[in-house]
């Protein structure tokens, strides 16, 4: 009996995969119901499945126009799926463990401690509540910001638009109710632009960074110190530095390469060019909203966008991608090898080899998935290579930006993109957790003789 229980017991990674899968299926069934659709509108189940997957995986790619296809009930279901998907990164594991096991063992607490970058094993339920409260507060502030534009424009319906887009932006989903052109009609609207960018960055930074900043502020106030940066841990420093670097460098490249392109920034004033460039760079943090049609960007810009999308947001946030810290550790490891250093150090702190191996595994998994699925999509559907690569990178990094490929997908193409969104959402998470679960060394019981190989 004991053996049977152990065999049937769900591991944390399996619980995450199963939970996301079940949520997608339930969402697809709900969105396929007539009550979820507008009068006279019908969709195929694969499109309902696509809409559910893009919502749960907070991606934003859609094969149908959300505003024209789904009723208020359908839109409400989509918003709930987005909220579930966005919060799933930081709360779903804890919730599933509480529901399935009724108690959290020491091993699982250690796993969650590493996943959330915590200094204590206690208070996980309290932590989950704190995350939910912070999320709702930020989304409320975002909804108020949107309301200054949407209520005067849409009347009472503007309240719903404000709430929906605030949730979608904070969860980095990029799904909108405006129409088929995302936020292109609000390209010049300062309120919409900066409210959206603020929510995207807030969701993509990750909750552990908020806690660290708050802790540092409390420490400095208590000790009457003004050295805020010196009291912030290495993780938060990496996240803040990489986020700022990627956003401003992305905006710079967009501004330079698209300055005279009439299809993107060419016809805008200098100030509006800066705002549009900044928005494009921020939305690459896996948000998916667009104020400029992606098909108009030059190829050189798109190549940079693909790299920026692949990196994505930060750990324990609502964004996707391989994450900023992962990219930073791989880069630091590479530079250490070039310099002949045996240890990797960041901000005068040595990084454990476990973290480096985990970062490399996530990058290899994500890149391999991108290559295989890009080949698969090009095989089943003829299309431009860059546009296809852009689409699959957007799907795997859960971004939601497209150069027109999504609307042209056939059945096989839709299923491939659905798989890409699912793997992109749960892959890096479960892989990181799997690495954490073996930190006790159980995977190193067997040791073999060392081999010599030629590298490079």
DSSP letters, 10-55, are PPHHHHHHHHHHHHHHHHHHHHHSGGGB-TT----HHHHHHHHHHH
Amino acid 70: pLDDT: 96
Amino acid 421: pLDDT: 93
Amino acid 107: pLDDT: 53
Amino acid 108: pLDDT: 54
Measured CA to CA, the distance from residue 174 to residue 161 in angstroms comes to: 13
Phi, psi angle pair for 137, to nearest 5°: -65, -45
Q: Provide the CA 423 distance to its chain's centre, in angstroms.
A: 12
Spans of the chain, pLDDT less than 50: 1-8, 90
**Burial class of residue 219 in the structure, from the number of CB atoms within 10 Å of its CB (0-12 exposed, 13-18 middle, 19+ buried):** middle
What Cα–Cα distance (Å) separates residue 336 from each residue in 241, 324, 330? Answer: 19, 18, 10
Helix (H, G, I), strand (E, B) or coil at 346: strand
Amino acid 200: pLDDT: 94
pTM confidence score: 0.87
């Amino acid at each position: 009996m004991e053996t049977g229980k152990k065999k049937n017991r769900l591991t944390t990674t399996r619980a995450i995969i199963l939970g996301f899968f079940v949520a997608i299926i339930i969402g697809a069934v709900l969105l396929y119901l007539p009550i979820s659709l507008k009068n006279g509108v019908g969709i195929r189940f694969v499109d309902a499945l696509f809409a559910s997957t893009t919502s749960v995986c907070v991606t934003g790619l859609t094969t149908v126009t959300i505003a024209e296809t789904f009723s208020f009930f359908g839109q409400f279901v989509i918003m709930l799926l987005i909220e579930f998907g966005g919060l799933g990164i930081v709360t779903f594991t804890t919730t599933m463990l509480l529901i399935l096991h009724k108690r959290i063992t020491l091993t699982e607490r250690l796993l969650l401690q590493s996943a959330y970058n915590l200094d204590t094993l206690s208070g996980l339920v309290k932590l989950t509540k704190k995350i939910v409260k912070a999320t709702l507060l930020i989304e409320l502030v975002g909804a108020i910001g949107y309301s200054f534009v949407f209520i005067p424009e849409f009347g009472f319906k503007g309240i719903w638009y404000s709430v929906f887009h605030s949730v979608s932006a904070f969860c980095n989903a990029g799904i909108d109710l405006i129409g088929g052109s995302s936020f292109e009609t609000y390209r010049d609207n300062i309120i919409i632009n900066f409210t959206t960018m603020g929510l995207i960055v807030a969701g993509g930074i990750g909750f552990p960074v908020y806690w660290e900043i708050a802790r540092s502020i409390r420490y400095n106030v208590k000790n009457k110190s003004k050295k805020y940066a010196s009291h912030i841990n290495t993780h938060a420093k990496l996240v803040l530095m990489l986020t700022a670097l990627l956003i401003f460098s992305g905006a710079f490249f967009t501004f330079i390469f698209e300055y005279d392109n009439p299809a993107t920034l060419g016809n805008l004033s200098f100030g509006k060019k800066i705002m549009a460039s900044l928005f494009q760079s921020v939305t690459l943090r896996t948000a998916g909203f667009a104020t400029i049609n992606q098909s108009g960007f030059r190829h050189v810009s798109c190549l940079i966008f693909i790299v920026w999308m692949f990196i994505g947001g930060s750990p324990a946030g609502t964004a996707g991608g391989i994450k900023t810290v992962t990219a930073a550790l791989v880069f630091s490891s590479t530079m250490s090898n070039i310099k002949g250093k045996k240890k990797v150090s960041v901000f005068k702190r040595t990084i454990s080899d476990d973290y480096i191996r985990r970062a490399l595994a996530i990058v290899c998994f994500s890149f391999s998935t991108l290559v295989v699925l890009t080949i698969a999509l090009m095989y089943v559907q003829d299309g431009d290579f860059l546009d296809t690569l852009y689409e699959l990178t957007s799907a795997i990094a859960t971004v939601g930006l497209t150069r027109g490929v999504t609307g042209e997908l056939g059945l096989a193409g839709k299923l491939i993109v659905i798989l890409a969104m699912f793997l992109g959402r749960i892959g890096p998470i479960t892989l990181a957790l799997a690495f954490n679960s073996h930190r006790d060394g159980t995977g190193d019981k067997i040791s073999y003789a060392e081999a010599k190989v030629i590298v490079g």
